[in-house]
Structure 1
Amino acid sequence: NLHNLLTHLSKKPFKKKITKNPRHNAQQLDNLANCFKEMQGMGVPLVNIGCADVHSGSKKLTLGLLWSLILKFEIGRFTEGGDTSKAKQDLELWVQNRCEDAGVTVTNFTTDFRDGKALAALCESVKPSNVNSIGETTVEGSLQRAAELLDAPSLLDAEGFATEEQTMMLYLSQFYQKFGTKEEVLGNRKAEEAVRRLCVAKSDLEGKLVNPKRYKPNKFTVTPRDENGQIIGCKLRQIKATLTSMSGQSVPVTLIRGEGEDEGRFVGSFVPVELGAHVFDVMLMGEHM
Structure 2
Amino acid sequence: MAFSAAANQQPDGQYRVLDKSWEDIQQKASIWTFANWISTKLAVRGIAPIKSLATDLSSGETLIQLLEIIGDESLGKYNKHPKLRLQKIENMNKALEFIKKRGVNLTNIGAEDIVDSNSKLILGLIWTIILRFSIADISEEGLTAKEGLLLWCQRKTQPYSADFAIKDFTFSWNSGLALCALIHRHRPDLLDYWTLDKSNKRENTTLAMNVAAEHLNIPKLFEPEDLVDVPKPDERSVMTYVAQYFHAFSGMDKMDTAGRRLGQFGQVMHAAWEMQNDYERRVRAFMAGISETQKGWAKSSNFTEYSEAKQQLTEFDQYKRTTKRGWVAEKRDLDALLGNIQTKLKTYNLSPYVPPAGLATADMESSWTQLVRLEGERKQKLTSVIREIKETLKKKFATAANQFQAELERISASLASLEGELEGQLEAVNQLISKLQPLKTHLVDIENLNSECVQANIEDNEYTIYDHSDLEFDWGLVSQSLSKKASFIQNQIVARTMTNVSPQQLEEYSETFRHFDKDNSNTLSRHEFKAALQVQGYTYDEGEFDKIFADVSKGDDIVSFEEYITFVRSVEEDKTTPEQLKSTFKTLAGDKVEKAVEYIFEWNLHLLNSPHPSLSTQSYITEQNFLVGGLQPAVIEMFKATLPKKEGVEGGYDYVAYLRKVFAN
TM-score between the two structures when normalised by the length of structure 1? 0.54
Higher deviation after alignment, 170-179 or 131-140: 131-140
1:93 is matched with which residue?
151
Between structure 1 and structure 2, the one with the greater Rg is: 2
* C-alpha separation in 1, matches of 2:180 and 2:88: 47
Gap change, CA 1:3 and 1:106, over 3 Å in 2: same
1:144 is matched with which residue?
206
Greater relative contact order, per chain length (Cα 8 Å cut-off, separation 6+): 1
Contact 1:117/1:138 (8 A) holds in 2: no
Gap change, CA 1:159 and 1:23, over 3 Å in 2: closer
Residue 141 of structure 1, CA deviation: 2.5
* C-alpha separation in 1, matches of 2:193 and 2:90: 58
Matched, 1:166 2:230: no
Matched, 1:74 2:134: yes
* C-alpha separation in 2, matches of 1:13 and 1:131: 43
What letter corresponds to residue 143 of structure 1 in structure 2?
A: T
Please report the RMSD computed on the Cα atoms of aligned residues, expressed in angstroms: 3.0
Any residues of structure 2 matched to 1:5-154 within 5 Å, and which? 5-15=66-76, 17-79=77-139, 86-103=144-161, 104-128=164-188, 129=191, 131-133=193-195, 136-146=198-208, 147-151=210-214, 154=220
Residue 48 of structure 1, CA deviation: 2.2
Secondary structure in structure 1 of the residue aligned to 2:194:
coil
Residue 119 of structure 1, CA deviation: 2.7
Higher deviation after alignment, 120-129 or 87-96: 120-129
* C-alpha separation in 2, matches of 1:11 and 1:53: 26
1:224-258 alpha-carbon deviations (Å, 9 max, x no partner): xxxxxxxxxxxxxxxxxxxxxxxxxxxxxxxxxxx
* C-alpha separation in 2, matches of 1:32 and 1:153: 27
What letter corresponds to residue 125 of structure 1 in structure 2?
A: R
* C-alpha separation in 1, matches of 2:78 and 2:224: 43
Secondary structure in structure 2 of the residue aligned to 1:179:
helix
Residue 159 of structure 1, CA deviation: 2.3
* C-alpha separation in 1, matches of 2:124 and 2:136: 16
Secondary structure in structure 1 of the residue aligned to 2:224:
coil
Contact 2:139/2:145 (8 A) holds in 1: yes
Residue 20 of structure 1, CA deviation: 2.5
Residue 107 of structure 1, CA deviation: 0.7
Contact 1:109/1:165 (8 A) holds in 2: yes
Contact 1:75/1:173 (8 A) holds in 2: yes
Could you tell me which runs of 5 or more consecutive residues in structure 1 were left unpaired when the two chains were aligned. 185-289
Gap change, CA 1:156 and 1:142, over 3 Å in 2: farther
Residue 178 of structure 1, CA deviation: 0.8
What letter corresponds to residue 148 of structure 1 in structure 2?
A: V
Give 1 or 2: higher helix fraction: 2
Higher deviation after alignment, 140-149 or 4-13: 140-149
1:249-279 alpha-carbon deviations (Å, 9 max, x no partner): xxxxxxxxxxxxxxxxxxxxxxxxxxxxxxx
Contact 1:150/1:175 (8 A) holds in 2: no
Residue 139 of structure 1, CA deviation: 2.2
Count residues in correspondence: 181
1:50-87 alpha-carbon deviations (Å, 9 max, x no partner): 1111011101111111111111222234459xx9x832
1:228 is matched with which residue?
none
Could you tell me which runs of 5 or more consecutive residues in structure 2 were left unpaired when the two chains were aligned. 1-61, 255-665
Contact 1:120/1:137 (8 A) holds in 2: no
Contact 1:150/1:174 (8 A) holds in 2: no
Gap change, CA 1:97 and 1:32, over 3 Å in 2: same
Residue 167 of structure 1, CA deviation: 0.6
